Copies of this chain bind each other. A is one copy, B any other.
């Protein structure tokens, strides 16, 4: 029998886990599978593991290879989307890896590699909080702070590598050191990691009782859920630190507004999604007061709607866009 190629693979390659999903041509999820990656996993077994989990999810969905129209793979680091190359990966020593080619040879379909924040932003533009926007800016605070931008239906992907590095807008001259080697980057003062550092110190000083009781002062344990719990319980220092981070985020967002003039700004990531009101209010007030006057009132800020599936779904839809719409 003749098969119709009407399914799309979306793959979210995290630094510590991977998620494979199959979507039908209405972008409803047909099956998904998640698996952990070993820290430091080398490229060859890592790619084999990716192919393996894709095989499993296809089997689970009872989809044949001949029914797959294409795949999109979201990667948490800089990529060269045109050549399908992973430039580098945090936690894994994958460098200059021709992932698109490797997967394409195995899956026998077109494979599109893109940055995970770009994938998440595209997902929110197509199916989530950014629907209908002409210029959608995605901002995802986590360990770092990622940014993405969809302009007139097209992801901005820069000339050679990942763009919209909103986490590295300098907001505090001579501010704290950043992982990028700079100082006072937005990421160094407003990422979840920067928040956890500050909260750990507050807990140590006895100013964050909920944090101290629940997880202590180890920043690895001070994650989105307990931060939200402490804020809700009224730990004053935690609320202040979060509000401060939201204010810095708004300053970074304002700088991006002056450059790309978005009509919608989508805030995402675990911490924002756990405390939507606090972040919406703080970022909105700060962005409105720091953007050029002429941009005031021209944008709305919304919280991401797709949760954990955003990157996989966005990657699959981007592959569809490149193969079907933009061809």
A residues adjacent to B (C-beta < 8 A): 78, 133-135, 147, 151-152, 154, 156-166, 168-170, 172-173, 180-182, 255-256, 258-263, 290, 292-295, 298-299
Contacts and interface: CB of A to CB of B under 8 A. Distances in A.
Contacts of A134: 159-160
A250 to B, nearest CB: 13
Contacts of A162: 261
Contacts of A299: 159
A261 B298 contact: no
Given A78-B294, A173-B173, A294-B78, A263 B160 contact: yes
Given A166-B259, A169-B255, A159 B180 contact: no
Contacts of A295: 161
A163 B261 contact: yes
A292 B260 contact: no
Contacts of A255: 169-170, 255
How many copies of this chain does one complex carry?
A: 2
Contacts of A78: 294
A293 B259 contact: no
B181 A293 contact: yes
Nearest to A87: B294
B165 A298 contact: no
A259 B164 contact: yes
B159 A261 contact: yes
Contacts of A256: 259
- In this complex, the member of A161, A163, A172 whose beta carbon has the largest number of chain B beta carbons within 10 angstroms is A163
A159 B263 contact: yes
A258 B298 contact: no
